[in-house]
A and B are shown apart, each in its own frame.
Chain A
Amino acid sequence: MTLENLANTLREHPFLQGFTAEHIDKLAAMASEVHFGKGALIFREGDESSFFYLLLTGKVALETNAPGRIVRIVTLGPGEEVGWSSLTPSHSKQFQARSLEETQALAFDGVRLQHACEEDCRFGYTLMTAMLRVVAHRLQSTRLQLLDMYSPVS
């Protein structure tokens, strides 16, 4: 994908709504296109991977190891994000990510993103605001799952 194509793809991604053209160009320069085959592990729980992904096609599951089984926490698809913890000081992955279908994504090195945020505070604020939206949405969804609202007791 050329730099121009990357910028066009990024512009259409819901995560980047509200980003300026300059910010999009900055991100395009840091993006690389990646593909994961069906069933591929993108990262494992505990991995020191610092990559953050914007999903373009396919489906990815976040999973955790419970004793004797793997529990699927959430599935994510086009227009969503995987690996937001790469923007936190610890890069250790708390879940494992598995590609459930042929998946295409744009990958960003979290360390480079953090440096870019430190160098350009306005860019950093915009990126962290977008990230906060993702985290808040995930937190709300997790709370709803924990409510077990479909149970007869609820």
Chain B
Amino acid sequence: MPVAELEREQTTGNEMTPAMARVAQVRKETYDTFTLALEPSGGEPFPGFTPGQFSMLYVYGNGELPISISGDPEDHARLLYTVRSVGKTTQALVSSQPGDAVGMRGPYGSHWPLKVARGKDVLIVAGGIGLAPLRPAIHYIMRHRADYNRLVVLYGARSPRDLIFRKQLEDWGRLPDTQVLSTVDYGGLSWRGHVGVVTGLFRLVRLQPFHTVAMICGPEIMMRYVIWELEARGMPPGDLYLSLERNMKCGIGFCGHCQYGPNFICKDGPIFPYHEVRSWFGRYEL
């Protein structure tokens, strides 16, 4: 085997070994969703991350999961992960206590097109916990506000009690050149906001096709309808970016679990320009 191949194999081995992090805080967002703040366990700081990237988090003795980073990319002291408790490993993760050890690999993957979006309007469309991977992009835009034009955040969730980051969304919505609209599928009488699917919010937004970059993350079926709606409003497919999700194992493009057409979600994604994946998007067998 050539030396270069041996070196690559060795690197691969290292990349599969998690570094140890400590849980600094567990914050309850909703009845089933929590945000974990992780700090480095040793003296070495965490590597930086780019909005949209994820880490492989290992709950010792339980399992490993890909979780998107949901915090401010310029907070170098800790990394935030927003996790919905839906299975054995996520339940174990959100049940962590401050001081507990968690294994961490990464950050991995592609990122939101924040450079491409400079000087343009940014439209963020999120559904459910899909707001978590988009929050670092919003933080980044807020920190570099002069580099971007209007920011519009459209967020849909199942019910008012499923909305995450509510206070932060309200705060952002009060800022100039920023429009934040939330909607829920099922709303009671106490909910004063919008009721209906997230695509219903487009009528309240002044969209400038060819001068807007859209970043979309949520259930795939929601993203399909969002894309149809945006294309109908004249948005070019190349200006639509989406975050895709598939069952990941290695997180570095070796195992093939997350293959999506010619791409691996973990290595080539999770963020893709729509025109690069449109041939596979929405296909049943993928």
Which A residues lie at the B interface, using CB under 8 A? 14, 59, 61, 63, 69-75, 77, 79-80, 100, 140-141, 144-145, 147-152, 154
Contact A149 B221 (CB under 8 A): yes
Which B residues lie at the A interface, using CB under 8 A? 84, 86, 127-128, 156-158, 162, 183, 185-189, 191-197, 199-200, 203-204, 218-219, 221-222, 225
26 A-B contact pairs sorted by A residue (CB < 8 Å) = A61-B195, A63-B189, A70-B189, A72-B191, A72-B195, A73-B195, A75-B187, A77-B204, A79-B203, A80-B203, A100-B192, A140-B225, A141-B196, A141-B197, A144-B197, A144-B221, A144-B225, A149-B221, A150-B127, A150-B128, A150-B185, A150-B218, A150-B219, A152-B84, A152-B86, A154-B219
Which of B86, B195, B203 has its CB near the most chain A CB atoms (within 10 A)? B195
Contact B221 A74 (CB under 8 A): no
Neighbouring B residues of A149 by C-beta, 8 Å: 127-128, 218-219, 221-222
Contact B192 A150 (CB under 8 A): no
Q: Which residue of B lies closest to A77 (CB)?
A: B204
Contact B158 A75 (CB under 8 A): no
**CB < 8 Å: which of A70, A71, A74, A154 contacts B196?**
A74
Known: A59-B194, A149-B222. 6 other contacts (CB 8 A): A70-B188, A72-B186, A75-B194, A148-B158, A151-B158, A154-B221
Neighbouring A residues of B86 by C-beta, 8 Å: 152
Neighbouring B residues of A59 by C-beta, 8 Å: 194
Q: Which residue of B lies closest to A63 (CB)?
A: B189
Contact A72 B158 (CB under 8 A): no
Q: Which residue of B lies closest to A70 (CB)?
A: B189
Q: Which residue of A lies closest to B128 (CB)?
A: A150
Contact B203 A14 (CB under 8 A): yes
Give Cα A149–Cα B218 distance, bound, in whole angstroms. Answer: 9
Contact A141 B200 (CB under 8 A): yes
Q: Which residue of A lies closest to B198 (CB)?
A: A144
Contact A77 B203 (CB under 8 A): yes
Neighbouring A residues of B221 by C-beta, 8 Å: 144, 147, 149, 154
Neighbouring A residues of B192 by C-beta, 8 Å: 100
Neighbouring B residues of A150 by C-beta, 8 Å: 127-128, 156-158, 162, 185, 218-219, 222
Neighbouring A residues of B196 by C-beta, 8 Å: 74-75, 141, 145
Neighbouring B residues of A77 by C-beta, 8 Å: 203-204
